[in-house]
Chain A
């Protein structure tokens, strides 16, 4: 095993605490370090790892091919500036050697040696950042970003830059209410999970930060599994079943999602950071192999269907439990 591989395992946010999984309003305060069987994660909001430059190059390519991945309704411009000015200092603190931020009032100078970026802009002045604050933010952090406006007693997904969606589409969801966004998800409406989540989010006060995890599975290290590109990746779910390389191709995909109440704009900033670990990498931690095998075997059919696991679930369980 290479060192790059083990670093990926060591910081992987393995999400299962028991042998079964159900939907919950599983939110906890951000920045709480978590210890796992292989290492740990979660001390900060942004998690810059060895795949940083590769993933940002991939985001740029996806966006160039399909600019609709970045959406912003006109009233969300303040929120976009707010997200940028909240998260750049966060990135500067996470990578003190490789990045730097100088502020002279509203005049900000940002340097990022990891990507070779150097930019000066004026906060609030759209002309000083022609691609827009949201697109610029998305070029600097690995997380997908959704910004939700709060009004009329609801949250609205009115802006976002999402290139690494797990089978959904920002272009389709823009302008929807939080409850509508979650329309396709089974069980959560009856169980009150999303209603509770929305009430909780609407009560967050300026600067409050929470996080949660979500998971699914993906064939190959493919981050862009958006609805828009389904034709490119959908059939792999079927084809992977007979492939001897299945344990290397099938990945557990875990999203660490942050929920932050932005101060200036009052918007909710939803960050989705996607981590992929192949079954073979996962199996280097025997506890994870056993537990994920059990979770996958026990998962109710409707949830497995919704997550798109049905085709290969049995094959994955077989491999995991054979070890």
Chain B
């Protein structure tokens, strides 16, 4: 599954990115390309829960791609990318990559992990939405979790189908007809044991169908999981911090935090977590509307608008005047 994040630099500036080499390119079915990514010198890559993604630099944009491995520490990551001729260009970029090319990726991010207390995992995939499900199925086999996978693909274009057959055996049912697939999903939702969790990834109508049918059949919301890329802190719009006491002006570019910009301008601000939780980096605001992105200030403090946690928060207005 792919999601285009609008702004480049969607992750925290200090997020240690991975430099990866394209070690293999596999065109399994027409239009879907699998990249094998390794560290240029070899070595283990970070472990990740099933259903995680990495955010890949694709020329002038960043795209999130699901990792298809089981998540145990290993030396390669694999992503499978569907070429979208009408898309915004990320997939075309990936399809131009060749063995030996170097790409930059985020560390793995998890937003679609299996629930450990589930008695049974019902996996539902449509099209290229199979990628996080492949990861789920692999991990379920490795850790002996009870699961089944319903997969709808176009005739002759079932990415990873052979691999899945070998991995899942009769726990996989594949469909090329949408009505048959939807009927099977409904039947599964209607009779799986209490304590089953359902996970869906694919086209929006499929996700909608699973969510609506589950709700109709009385499934509690906590047992229904859909792959949606969570909004990490984005790079934010550029603005200028005006330091009221010295009169100096500090530009804060997109992708740089106010705290970092102040430090680079030689203004020391106490700080600890740089994550917006500890409360150390609070800075008084004289004018301009702060864009609060921290977890520290209360609703009342936010509304007052007279202080900002400068490690994560930014400005709504072009200028933010600080009492510094």
Which residues in A have some Cβ–Cβ distance to B below 8 Å?
24-29, 75-76, 78-79, 82, 85-86, 123-124, 149-152, 192, 196-197, 199-200, 205-207, 210, 262-267
Contact = CB atoms under 8 A, between A and B. Distances in A.
Contacts of A152: 222
B143 A196 contact: no
B117 interface: yes
Contacts of A266: 49, 110, 113, 116
Given A27-B272, A206-B48, A263 B295 contact: no
Given A27-B272, A199-B295, 6 more contacts: A25-B296, A86-B47, A205-B110, A206-B107, A207-B108, A263-B48
Contacts of A207: 46-47, 107-108
B275 A200 contact: yes
Interface in B109-141: 109-110, 113, 115-117, 139
B278 A24 contact: yes
Given A264-B49, A266-B113, A27 B277 contact: yes
Interface of B: 46-49, 52, 71-73, 107-110, 113, 115-117, 139, 142-143, 222, 272-275, 277-279, 295-296, 298
B295 A200 contact: yes
Contacts of A76: 116
Contacts of A267: 116
Given A206-B110, A263-B73, A263-B108, A25 B47 contact: no
Contacts of A206: 46-49, 52, 107-110
Contacts of A26: 272, 278
29 contacts: A24-B279, A25-B278, A25-B296, A26-B278, A29-B273, A75-B117, A79-B116, A85-B73, A124-B142, A149-B116, A197-B277, A199-B295, A200-B275, A206-B46, A206-B49, A206-B52, A206-B107, A206-B108, A206-B110, A207-B47, A207-B108, A263-B47, A263-B49, A263-B73, A263-B108, A264-B48, A264-B71, A264-B139, A267-B116
Which of A79, A123, A149, A265 counts the most B-chain CB atoms under 10 A from its CB?
A265
Given A24-B278, A266-B110, A78 B71 contact: no
Contacts of B279: 24-25
B72 A205 contact: no
Which of A85, A192, A210, A266 counts the most B-chain CB atoms under 10 A from its CB?
A266
